[in-house]
Amino acid sequence: GAVVSQHPSRVICKSGTSVKIECRSLDFQATTMFWYRQFPKQSLMLMATSNEGSKATYEQGVEKDKFLINHASLTLSTLTVTSAHPEDSSFYICSAEDRLKADAEAFFGQGTRLTVV
Amino acid sequence: GENVEQHPSTLSVQEGDSAVIKCTYSDSASNYFPWYKQELGKRPQLIIDIRSNVGEKKDQRIAVTLNKTAKHFSLHITETQPEDSAVYFCAASRRNSGNTPLVFGKGTRLSVIA
């Protein structure tokens, strides 16, 4: 099946610094990728929809200036957590779909566990 | 927007017994309903999905049923095994007419007791 690769898998950063997370579709083109956040023992909450070549669409309550999304190619989307705070510590997961397939399955990256100290 | 409710939040069954997890959705335009299994610290893995043109789908020990009128769908796992222990998420979205992102239920923590 299609593969979505996400890096890094774990990152620890200091408060106030920025962290970039990459999401790549390895064998298909993904004009749209989705970024989710998952707090411990909770569900996946959609943060934003990343559109190739255009601005991302953010869900209500998600600060676009804090969570910067860049989708510069058909196979890569990046999420940058700027000025990170301890409350940003969470599991971040991306997903991508092969838009050439009408009934495409959503594939998830491995996830990134971010810890802000 | 879509809202997905999932029950129960936790479920314990004896090995060999069946487990049933139920979800309801609010958007009548949703037509794609996947189920994911997530182990601790790992990505969700698709285990089965169903589209709105069918009422039931089965894959070995796993089956999903869909009632479009009532807007609910269920996951059935038969002959449960300890390795089935995980968190299961249902989700809903639209496909083929302006794809929308998956909206997830809150999850069910399934424990299969040997």
| pLDDT at residue B98 tops 80 | no
Looking at residue B101, its pLDDT comes to 87
CA distances in angstroms from A53 to A27, A60, A106, B37, B50, listed in the order given: 19, 22, 20, 32, 32
pLDDT single digits (tens) A21-73 = 999 999 888 888 999 999 998 999 999 998 888 889 999 999 999 999 998 88
Question: In this predicted structure, which of A66-80, B47-61, B88-102 has the lowest mean pLDDT?
Answer: B88-102
Torsion sign over Cα A50, A26, A2, A43: negative
Q: Which residues of A touch B102 (CB under 8 A)?
A: 34, 44, 46, 95, 106
The two structure tokens encoding residue B72? 């609910």
The contacts of residue A55 (CB under 8 Å, 6+ apart) are none
Helix or strand or coil: residue A88? helix
pLDDT single digits (tens) B15-57 = 999 999 999 999 999 999 999 999 988 999 999 999 988 899 9
- How far is residue B98 CA from its own chain's centroid? 23
| pLDDT at residue A99 tops 70 | no
- How far is residue B51 CA from its own chain's centroid? 12
- Segment B100-109 mean pLDDT: 92
Distance from CA of B104 to the nearest CA of A (A): 6
Q: Which residue of B has its CA nearest to A94?
A: B43
Partner B contacted by A109 (CB < 8 A):
yes
pLDDT band of A111, cuts 50, 70, 90: very high
Residue found by looking up tokens 């620890």 in the block: A12
Partner B contacted by A49 (CB < 8 A):
yes
Closest to A43 (Cβ–Cβ): which among B49, B96, B106?
Answer: B106
The two structure tokens encoding residue B108? 């069910």
